[in-house]
Amino acid sequence: MRRLKIIAIGLLIFTVFQMVALLGMTLLMYQITPKSVLARDTFIGRIQPLMLMVRLADRSLNTFYRGPTPPAEVPFYSIEIDDADLTLLEEKLEKLDVFLEDDAKIWMDITFTADGEKYDAKMRVRGDRFNHWQFRKKSWRVKFPKDHLFRGMREMTLIIPEDRAWHAEMVSYHRAKKLELLQPPMQFVGVSMNGSAPLAYVEVEHWTKEMLEKQGYPGDVNFYNPGGTQTSTFDGWDPLYEDLEYSGKYLESDISPQDSFEQLELLFSLEEEGAYLEPDFQAKVLSIFDFDTLIKWHAQSFLAGNLHAGGANMRVFFDTSRGQFVPVPWDIHITTPKPLLSQYPSALWQNIFAIPEWNLALHQFLWEYLSSEEQVGDDLVYIDSYREMVEEMAYRDPHKLLSNRQIKNDLDRRSRELRENMDSLREQLQTSELLVAQRLPTDDDLADGIGLILDITMRGPVASILTNVTLPSEIELDISLDGEEFILGETLLAPESPPVDDLGFPTETPQTHYLLELRGFTITAGDLPLPLDLRNAVTGEPSDVINTVVVDDSRYQDFVPDLR
């Protein structure tokens, strides 16, 4: 009996373990699979009656969610539209799969009311992917008459807030304003459709000359959407930089040829693979972009996770008054914290920040921002403030797709991600890890005047600076770098200016492995390892030297070829 009891307990433990493992795998697959795929391409899409019951049970708890009172008044609009027009629109949308097609972009007459004033306007659905228009609540583009603008706006976009990560996009908008980047005006609004209770939307002024002129920019410009058109496959295809003909324009200048993309060709020339290796690459970048704006543009995306801005979301216009492109942060979204070495979402950024000095400048800007109590404190205030602006309205939205439980969970997650991204970046920027080998030279090296070789391998994205080498007291030669800082970066060891006379030019090897030749003295193994002052190039704090070894190359010079 005792043996049977042990076997039964063992089987029970094994069964429980399998069930937990299966549940864990199920949850993992659910989390990593896009919800639209779950709904369309799995068995979940074929058990809709059961899922409907689950959703009804979930929604039955909606009344228990209230939300805080908004810290400021939320603007309210009323839109009246003919039911026949909505029916015709639905018929066209039913024929679509994933992407919005032109024949569904039909402009419908509406009556738009705000602050007691009525506007005879037009409206159509907007948004490339189906989440904007397949369900009851849709995203819209509203166009006002030229002789009756709404608060100076010719066109506005009303976007379902969950597509903009609720309050996360508003926080990115606030950061862009702080960094003096051009941003279309954006706010939360409530919209009544044909007498409904207020629906929660993110209002954004569209790309129009009126929007630019109100912010002090010329309106007679070419405003580009380089991403242009996408295909009808689920994953989409980003034609950015593939062919000029796939690019789009929001505005066309009367100064430049209407159908010309010659300005965009300047931008595309920077996108070719390995373009950053061309000798004139940096000069070309600085001729069409303001460098400080580039740094701020990319820093803002890093603060939000760095994976969504760029590519098909790139928006730029050519400011003829200065002869340069002006980038417009758009659809930044938010992701969980990512390594600084994550793949850039834009070929432009990938080439620009392959330049080590520019990558270092980006990291230094991020560190300055994240080290400022004023900047971070301001962000934290607006994370909570923007959430409070939308939460109550989102819970009461009668056309929303999600339940209030799902909305609260998503709001919690976005608030958490906004904070975690700042904490993660701050931690990564403080991490500068090195492996150091101090190598005694071979006879041939000695004949060339080399006294010591520093063989340094970096780990991670943050550069280190070698600021001093302390020689034994009997060696009178002072080889302190005296301000000529050697940057151990992703692709560069030394600055462009020549090192001091007693130091040889560094020999670069692939990846993050570098050889630094020190000349003008001789040294013995007993004097090694020499103290090195290696510092984090971003924070100025000492780098973390994981290990230092001493190698005497002269012992193996007759057997091992010189791989340097």
The domain locations on the chain are 77-428, 433-556
Residue 427, Cβ neighbours under 10 Å: how many? Answer: 11
- Report the C-alpha gap between 7 and 13 in whole angstroms: 10
pTM of the predicted model as reported, rounded to 2 decimal places? 0.81
Beta bridge partners of 204: 157, 186
pLDDT at 256 over 70: no
Q: How confident is the model at residue 77 (pLDDT cuts 50, 70, 90)?
A: very high
With contact defined as beta carbons under 8 Å apart, do 458 and 534 qualify?
no
Q: Kindly report which listed range (71-85, 236-250, 302-316, 521-535) carries the lowest average pLDDT score.
A: 236-250
- Report the C-alpha gap between 113 and 76 in whole angstroms: 9
CATH 1.20.58 matches 433-556: no
Residue type, 286: L
| 438 contacts: CB under 8 Å, gap ≥ 6 | 452, 453, 454, 455, 528, 529, 530, 548, 549, 550, 551
Residue type, 484: E
Looking at residue 17, what is its pLDDT?
Answer: 84
- Nearest by Cα to 135 from 108, 170, 106, 162: 162
Q: How confident is the model at residue 236 (pLDDT cuts 50, 70, 90)?
A: very low
From the number of C-beta atoms within 10 Å of its C-beta (0-12, 13-18, 19+), residue 161 rates as buried
Beta bridge partners of 436: 456, 548
pLDDT digits (tens, 9 = 90+) for 28-56: 766 666 655 555 556 555 555 665 676 77
- Nearest by Cα to 506 from 495, 497, 521, 516: 516
Encode burial over 145-154: b for 16+ CB neighbours within 10 A, e otherwise.
eeeeebeebb
Looking at residue 43, what is its pLDDT?
Answer: 56
Give me the chain's average pLDDT, please.
81
pLDDT at 332 over 70: yes
- Report the C-alpha gap between 183 and 206 in whole angstroms: 10
pLDDT digits (tens, 9 = 90+) for 104-132: 899 999 999 999 999 999 999 998 888 89
Both structure tokens of 203: 């209002």
Looking at residue 455, what is its pLDDT?
Answer: 87
Q: How confident is the model at residue 344 (pLDDT cuts 50, 70, 90)?
A: confident
pLDDT digits (tens, 9 = 90+) for 432-449: 888 999 999 888 888 888
